[in-house]
Amino acid sequence: MKEGKTVPFWRNGIVLMSIGTVMIFTCLLAMDMETVDFASARISSRKTAERTDLRNAVNREMKIKPVTRSAHDRLMNVKHDPECLARTQHLLYRRDPERFAPSPAFTKAWNRYVMMHKACSHNKNWTHVFLHERGKTDDCNYLIVMEGNGGTGNKLLSLTSAFAYGLATDRVVMVEGRNQFKYLLCDPFPESSWFLPEDFPYQNVTDAEGLGVAIQRNFTDTSMVTLRLDHIQSWADTQFFCEHTHFGLMNVRWVGWSSTQYFVTRLLMVPSIWERLNPLFPSGEIFTFLSHKVLLPKNELWAHIVRLYFGYLAGSSKRVGVQVRLHGRWNLAEYDPVVFDHIVDCLQSRDVLPKLTTVDDVSDVMSFARNGWESSTEISVLVTSLQLKYYDELKDLYAGKPNVNKTAIRFHMVSHLGSQDSSVHQGETAFVEMWLLSFSDVLAISAYSTFGYVPQGIGGVKALYLNIKGEVFPNSTSCFDAYSTQPCTHNPQDPKCEGPGDANELHSEWMRHHVRECVDHPGGLQLVNEVVEEHSSG
């Protein structure tokens, strides 16, 4: 905390309870559109279930919960934010919306953050403030998030990490407003924006001093530090993940964030950040809850998502998402038959899709003729890839032969862009597909792909990881199970921290149970609900 300054209200955490703040909290809660009554949904779902039709029977068999009529009606009746329809409406399309009700502690922390964001950003000309009033002090500290050069998945994971850091340390998060983010995302905070203007002096953020210089100066005389948190970091930047650095950074008013990585797992290994964040997320699904606040699609994209949802996924008993992303090859959009075999083997061996048979065409035809009319037992499969052929081959495979369950299966693909670029258009397409995939009941994503982590996290789905990274061998396992719904931190840093070490026994204990080596990336770290002892990575 800065010396000789009054402590701003949001710094005092949850305990502060002056009359004024109670009143503001009450107002905020009243207008908080995410505050949905999740209790009433459970009661009437029983009635709906009595109208047992074939669909319900199939659902029960597949252990997939249908979206109940009452849950739908109740969600339709919540106040929707016309500026960002997805904010409340995405829950309409989820099987189990109650699961995504934020904890009271998170709601409170969020509301406090929103209040701070508004107070610190209201009517500001950011370009002017940054260029001419950077040294001026008030009760606000800022985090300027640069988009970085990665793919859209990387960008979104980095942004969510930056927001987690801002939330934990009371920093107003401001986002680069001249690249993809502005075209993809809603403004998360009512009555204030987090986008910086196009004429903002971004180059000054990029060029600003790094953590090394600030550490040398013991964080005195430092009005701005830019963190360079990429997969390879300088010694000084790794110090960001040390407890004592955060005491120093409290004195730095402007912090720049330049990264393409997901660092939430690593941030939670810093005791003071863990103390602030962990109580807000009792299920440990921190990315899921943050993404529902800060990774919401703008209305134009949401409209596109909803159109595709009803065109491709609505009404099917099981929604399957298959994300095919190659890494470590020269042509990331190539068709590799071994990869295709892995996809099919994974989907069939895990009972995502029924196996095929060669016999009995007659009974297959008769079965569709008999049941096809009144039932909708079909499975909808959404395939995303830069390469069309994965979808095409899968579709032809199932059209060409009867399957053992005599299930009608629909295959869809939204785009097949052929190659990767960093255009806004490609970013929008990728983001639309990530959101559509997030409504999957079963999700098969590509190992190591941040593109896949996003829908897995937004949807809160424990995915299957397709083992298709790098050179793929016919004899290798086609896929493996996710340990949790949370993204992998691919490159956690292991700095030698100076200063007082981690003496927090509770925190160490928590880490032993909740941080584990990623199943899809050796050396990566992932948050899990509970580490099973014999698999513990130590």
Ligand X SMILES: Nc1nc2c(ncn2[C@@H]2O[C@H](COP(=O)(O)OP(=O)(O)O)[C@@H](O)[C@H]2O)c(=O)[nH]1
Note the residues at the interface with Mg ion (CB under 5 A).
Answer: 150-151, 154
- Among 120, 215, 255, 430, the residue binding ligand X under the rule CB under 6 A is 430
Nearest to 395 by CA among 453, 292, 464, 322: 322
The residue (of 156 and 242) whose beta carbon lies closer to Mg ion is: 156
The residue (of 49 and 424) whose beta carbon lies closer to ligand X is: 424
**What gap in Å lies between CA 82 and CA 75, rounded to an integer?**
15
Which listed option, ligand X, ligand NAG, Mg ion, none, makes contact with residue 433 (CB within 5 to 8 Å by class)?
ligand X
The residue (of 151 and 321) whose beta carbon lies closer to Mg ion is: 151
User: Backbone phi, then psi, for 365, in 5-degree steps?
Assistant: -60, -45
Site string for ligand NAG, 227-266 (x = CB under 6 A): ----------------------------------------
Structure tokens at 337: 């038959």
Element (H, E) at 382: strand 379-385
The residue (of 104 and 315) whose beta carbon lies closer to ligand NAG is: 315
Structure tokens at 357: 């048979």
Which stretch, 41-49, 123-131, 173-181, 429-437, contacts ligand NAG (CB under 6 A)?
123-131
Tokens 């005599």, residue located: 406
The residue (of 208 and 386) whose beta carbon lies closer to ligand X is: 386
Phi-psi region of 315 (alpha: psi -120 to 50; beta: other; left: phi over 0): left
- Among 429, 438, 478, 491, the residue binding ligand X under the rule CB under 6 A is 429
Strands, E, within 209-338: which ranges? Answer: 224-229, 254-259, 318-324
Site string for ligand NAG, 333-372 (x = CB under 6 A): ------------------x-xx------------------
CB of 58 to ligand NAG, least distance (A): 8
Largest CA distance in the chain: 85
Nearest to 94 by CA among 485, 416, 451: 485
Which residues within the stretch 175-234 sit at the binding site for ligand NAG (CB under 6 A)?
Answer: 201, 204, 218
Query: Per CB under 6 A, does 450 bind ligand X?
Result: yes
**What gap in Å lies between CA 8 and CA 10, rounded to an integer?**
6
Which stretch, 72-80, 239-247, 380-388, 491-499, contacts ligand X (CB under 6 A)?
380-388
User: 214, 222 in Cβ contact below 8 A?
Assistant: yes
The residue (of 97 and 321) whose beta carbon lies closer to ligand X is: 321
| Number of residues this chain uses to bind ligand X (CB under 6 A) | 19
Query: Per CB under 6 A, does 417 bind ligand X?
Result: yes
User: 169, 273 in Cβ contact below 8 A?
Assistant: yes
Hey, how many other C-beta atoms are within 10 angstroms of the C-beta on 237? 22
CB of 61 to ligand X, least distance (A): 30
User: 295, 454 in Cβ contact below 8 A?
Assistant: yes
Tokens 């584990």, residue located: 516
Query: Per CB under 6 A, does 127 bind ligand NAG?
Result: yes
Query: Per CB under 6 A, does 451 bind ligand X?
Result: yes
Which listed option, ligand X, Mg ion, ligand NAG, none, makes contact with residue 536 (CB within 5 to 8 Å by class)?
none
- Among 169, 245, 261, 407, the residue binding ligand NAG under the rule CB under 6 A is 407
User: Strand 479-481 to strand 464-466: parallel, antiparallel, or no bridges (unpaired)?
Assistant: antiparallel
CB of 319 to ligand NAG, least distance (A): 13
What CA–CA distances, in Å, run from 2 to 6, 9, 30, 247? 9, 14, 33, 10
Query: Per CB under 6 A, does 151 bind ligand X?
Result: yes
27 three-class SS: helix
Nearest to 93 by CA among 393, 254, 302, 272: 302
- Among 68, 258, 261, 449, the residue binding ligand X under the rule CB under 6 A is 449
Query: Per CB under 6 A, does 128 bind ligand NAG?
Result: yes
Which stretch, 197-205, 346-354, 371-379, 382-390, contacts ligand X (CB under 6 A)?
382-390
Query: Per CB under 6 A, does 384 bind ligand X?
Result: yes
**What gap in Å lies between CA 308 and CA 399, rounded to an integer?**
22
Select the residue whose beta carbon is closest to ligand X and give its number: 151
CB of 317 to ligand X, least distance (A): 25
Dihedral sign for Cα atoms in the order 38, 488, 247, 6: negative
Query: Per CB under 6 A, does 131 bind ligand NAG?
Result: yes
Radius of gyration of the chain (CA): 24
- Among 153, 210, 271, 402, the residue binding ligand X under the rule CB under 6 A is 153
Structure tokens at 375: 């039932």
Structure tokens at 428: 């929008």
**Which residues in this chain contact ligand X in the complex, by CB under 6 A?**
150-154, 325, 384-386, 415, 417, 420, 426, 429-430, 433, 449-451
**Which residues in this chain contact ligand NAG in the complex, by CB under 6 A?**
61, 125, 127-128, 131, 134, 201, 204, 218, 351, 353-354, 405, 407, 473, 475
